Chains A and B, each alone.
Chain A
Amino acid sequence: MTSAIASTVTLPAPATGQAHPSLWWIYLIETKSEFLKLFRSPHYLVGVVGFPVMFYLLFGISLSRNSGGSITAAQYLLASYCVFGVVSAALFAFGAGVAVERAQGWMSLKRATPMPPSAYLGAKVLSAMAFGTIILVLVGLCGITLGGVHFPAATWLRLWAVLVLGCVPFCFAGLIIAFTVPPTGAPGIVNLINLPLSFAGGLWLPVDMLPKALRAITPALPQYHIGQLALGAIGAVETPDTLQHVVALLVSSVVFGALAWWTWRRSDQKA
């Protein structure tokens, strides 16, 4: 049995702890694991990839004909649903993912290993970016084949850059949720925050179609700023104030990052 098997394994001298493993290798394997974990989770895949694609097919494609101006609904909604997708990808990977992994002791187990903490967070950020890319490819294919969307390569690239870089503040926002709400409630709380704020941030309807009361808070939402950058990238905003939106996202990254760090420390001290 095991003892007989075990005796056929010759154990080398135990580790001395002085040598370093390759940091690149850790990041690579950690990101691959995180991505596979999310990719194989039906909840995540449906919620994060399925919804934007479905919304786009329902609203973007079916509305594509009744649009005036140079930008069609198929183009406009392609950008804003991709933003909705990547924001969800970040919020769920961090908000729900970290909360669950904390509750299951998975995070404690990893923290007891020599894993660099940046690998844990970095893998989740890179995975959210990868899902943002997948969403862009799928929604983009729908747009090209069914919505008559034709962008030059540079436009696609600009949109992609907005998605992968703009998701960072939402990763931090997710961390704050993970460290403050009870783990079983985290997925629900993420939905409760994500859906209304996406709406209020103009990701489902153009901002000038929103009720006036909502429009008052819209500029305070990072969803609005990443949305405007994405629309600017495809030329859907006449005179895009790119700098203002980039600064807004940077400021929210710093604020959310600091809050995430603080909530992490606070929950750590309670343990």
Chain B
Amino acid sequence: MPAATAAVASLDGVTHRYGNVEALSGVTFDLAPGQVTALLGPNGAGKTTVVRLLTGLARPTRGKALLFGDDPQSAPAKRRLGVMLQIARVPETLTVREHITLFSSYYPAPLPLADILRLTGLESVADRRYGKLSGGQQQRTLFALAICGNPGLLFLDEPTVGMDVESRRQFWDTIRTLAAAGRSILLTTHYLEEADALATRIVVLNRGRVIADGSPAAIKGQAAGRQVRCRTRLGAQALAALSGVQRVVPEEAGTMLLMSSDSDRTLRELLARDLDAHDIEIRGAGLEEAFIALTDADRKTAVA
């Protein structure tokens, strides 16, 4: 991250509790301008809490949340921000056009309505009521509300949940258009494919802590995981006991897929127990494997 540019948003040593539950524990990170950052993590990792703190919907129990160097609840900071929340439903009896006009009124220099409709592909349903839209069109309407103020920073909390494959691809294209126009974007997602396709940086959150932070390539590398595929007479339990093996997946073709943090040792032990193991194949891990390895390792340290 270029150190010289001021962060568009930051969390500094943030801990947040809901009652007795600690949703975030000492989280620190900056969002640099012009980056697409994916916040990745399993359910309950604290992704939505990060968004709530940075939008001023909640105040950190400890630590500091800043938006454009300002309090996230301040109006000037919020005028530069667009937000898509995970569980937002807007009144069903208003049309797409009426919703966008309402949200546009909150900003001093909103994008022209026609441009918003074109960017989000909602032109043909502009006068349809929100309640009569398809799930994908409703998501795009919420996205339109996020971008209507022409914000420099966008928070998108699970934006493509409920979209079909085609809508998702189209949505990704729009995100890329905005990123190319210099917008900073923070995206929380379950879909690793989405993070891999869009993000220039991935922050992995697990149980309220940042456990990895870097480019998609660096995250994949950090797991240092490899996939070992083979045919063997050893059962899943025996394979799981081999050194370095984090996960065993029996595959339909009769092959076994091993996720290993140390493929050399795994392979030596495998062959020591089953000299007949064959069709052996070793590949670098994808983002999904890296993610599982990272969160697994984190869980193990927590138990230990």
- Asked whether A152 is an interface residue with its Cβ less than 8 Å from the other chain, the reply is no
B162: shortest Cβ distance to chain A, in Å?
14
Partner of B87, one of A20, A21, A104, A114: A104
Interface residues, chain A, CB within 8 Å of chain B? 1-3, 5-9, 11-12, 14-21, 25-26, 29-30, 33, 36-37, 40-41, 101, 104-106, 108-109, 111-116, 270-271
A31: shortest Cβ distance to chain B, in Å?
10
A24: shortest Cβ distance to chain B, in Å?
10
16 contacts between A and B (CB under 8 A): A3-B176, A5-B118, A6-B174, A14-B150, A14-B183, A15-B79, A15-B150, A16-B80, A25-B105, A37-B93, A106-B88, A111-B57, A112-B56, A112-B81, A114-B149, A270-B19
A212: shortest Cβ distance to chain B, in Å?
45
Bound CA span A116–B150, Å: 18
Q: A2-B173, A111-B56, A112-B78 are in contact. Are A37 and B103 (CB under 8 A)?
A: no
A41 cross-chain contacts in B, Cβ below 8 A = 93
Partner of B107, one of A30, A101, A114: A114
Bound CA span A117–B174, Å: 31
A3 with B90: CB separation less than 8 A: no
Q: A36-B93, A112-B56 are in contact. Are A17 and B68 (CB under 8 A)?
A: yes
Bound CA span A7–B121, Å: 12
Partner of B102, one of A17, A30, A101, A112: A30
A2 with B87: CB separation less than 8 A: no
Closest to A26 in B: B105
Partner of B57, one of A6, A15, A108: A108
- Asked whether B242 is an interface residue with its Cβ less than 8 Å from the other chain, the reply is no
Bound CA span A26–B149, Å: 13
B90 with A109: CB separation less than 8 A: yes
A17 cross-chain contacts in B, Cβ below 8 A = 68, 76-80
The 7 closest A-B pairs by CB, nearest first: A14-B152, A3-B173, A19-B108, A40-B93, A105-B88, A17-B79, A2-B170
Bound CA span A1–B152, Å: 25
Q: How many A-B residue pairs have CB under 8 A?
A: 143
B105 with A5: CB separation less than 8 A: no
Partner of A21, one of B52, B105, B177: B105
The B contact surface, by secondary structure, is: loop
Chain B 100-138, CB within 8 Å of chain A: the 1/0 string? 011101111101000100110100000001000000000
Interface residues, chain B, CB within 8 Å of chain A? 18-19, 52, 55-58, 68, 75-81, 83, 85-91, 93-94, 98-99, 101-103, 105-109, 111, 115, 118-119, 121, 129, 142, 145, 149-152, 170-171, 173-174, 176-178, 181-183
Bound CA span A70–B13, Å: 75
Closest to A111 in B: B57
Closest to B76 in A: A17
Q: A7-B177, A40-B129, A104-B87 are in contact. List 19 more A-B contacts (CB 8 A).
A: A1-B170, A2-B121, A3-B170, A3-B174, A3-B176, A5-B118, A6-B173, A8-B118, A14-B150, A14-B151, A15-B107, A21-B105, A26-B106, A30-B105, A40-B94, A106-B89, A109-B145, A112-B57, A271-B52
Bound CA span A21–B121, Å: 26
A79: shortest Cβ distance to chain B, in Å?
31
